[in-house]
């Protein structure tokens, strides 16, 4: 995850413990995007997510002595995840509105394959993505957070197990059930089904280079 030649997490943690308070902000800057994205997908409320993320970083800072090594980002995400679950549990219902990413704040880091030539495909993919986002909101919390951590944020099974406090086997089964559920949700909706099949056909009919994005 360390893209730049920045100091590793462990060095920053050691620096914070030694009294270098500003080093903590290095960790905040490194992970705030991931933490916020995961929490937002879990609670689906911007203001709530903002509070939870703020709280999670404060907690992480005060509880840094409890960090016993290993993956710092998993430890951090665990704090945020637990906080988000607390908040979810204390709220009876939550808004089901899908997240609409405001227009063009699509982060370039996420555009893994921008090599989609056809305008139809581009529009259809974007449409399908929105529908998928809405379907994601319908998953049970445990499946959703597992799918988000794995397929959106790219965490390893081991890290997800540490974050959500379950076994590797549970992570795998939540992941497969979550993906299967997403697929059946899309197939259940006529328009989504057509889009899904259309995009797939397009991928198959089009150049094979586009198909080999797996």
Partner 1 sequence: MTFTTDGHPNDELLSAYLVGAIEDGSTRAMVEHHLAGCPTCREHIAQLQLIRALLSELPAPALPRSFTLTRDELQRLRRRPWYLRYQPVFRRLSAVAAVLLIVLFAVDLLAPTGAPRSVSEGRAEQAAAPVTAETPVSVMSAPAAAEPPGTADASPALSEQARATSGTPEVAVAAAPSPQPGGAPAADTAQEKAAPASSGVSLLDLAVAVTAAVLVVALLLAFVLPAAAARHAR
Binding residues for partner 1, rule: CB under 8 A, are 21-22, 24-25, 28-29, 32-33, 35-37, 40, 46, 50, 53-54, 57-58, 61-62, 65-66, 99, 101-102, 105-107, 109-113, 125, 128-129, 132-133, 136, 147, 151-152, 154, 172-173, 175-177, 179-180, 182-183, 186-187, 196, 199-200, 203-204, 213-214
Nearest distance in Å: CB 168, partner 1: 11
Nearest distance in Å: CB 92, partner 1: 21
Q: Phi first, then psi: what are they for 137, rounded to 5°?
A: -65, -20
CB 91 within 8 A of CB 100: no
* Residue 118 or 213 having the CB closest to partner 1: 213
Report helix, strand or coil for 173.
Answer: helix
Nearest distance in Å: CB 35, partner 1: 8
* Residue 101 or 165 having the CB closest to partner 1: 101
Give the tokens for residue 185.
Answer: 């949700």
Distance from CA of residue 129 to its chain's centroid?
14
Residue whose structure tokens are 């094979």? 208
Instruction: Give the C-alpha separation, 71 to 157, whole Å.
Output: 12
Nearest distance in Å: CB 10, partner 1: 19
Instruction: Give the C-alpha separation, 48 to 126, whole Å.
Output: 27
């Amino acid at each position: 995850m360390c893209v730049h030649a920045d100091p590793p997490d462990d060095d920053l943690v050691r620096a914070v413990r030694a009294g270098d308070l500003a080093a903590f902000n290095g960790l905040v800057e490194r992970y705030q995007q991931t933490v916020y994205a995961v929490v937002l997908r879990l609670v689906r409320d911007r203001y709530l997510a903002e509070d939870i993320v703020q709280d999670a970083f404060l907690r992480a800072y005060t509880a840094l002595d409890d960090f016993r090594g290993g993956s710092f980002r998993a430890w951090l995400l665990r704090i945020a995840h637990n906080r988000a679950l607390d908040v979810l549990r204390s709220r009876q219902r939550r808004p089901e509105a899908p997240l609409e990413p405001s227009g063009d704040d699509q982060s370039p880091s996420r555009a893994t394959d921008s090599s989609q030539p056809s305008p139809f495909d581009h529009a259809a993919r974007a449409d399908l993505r929105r529908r998928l986002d809405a379907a994601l909101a319908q998953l049970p919390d445990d499946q959703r957070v597992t799918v988000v951590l794995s397929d959106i944020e790219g965490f390893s099974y081991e890290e997800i197990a540490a974050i959500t406090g379950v076994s590797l086997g549970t992570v795998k089964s939540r992941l497969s059930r979550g993906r299967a559920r997403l697929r059946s949700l899309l197939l259940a909706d006529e328009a989504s089904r057509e889009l899904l099949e259309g995009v797939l056909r397009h991928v198959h009919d089009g150049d094979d280079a586009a198909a080999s994005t797996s």
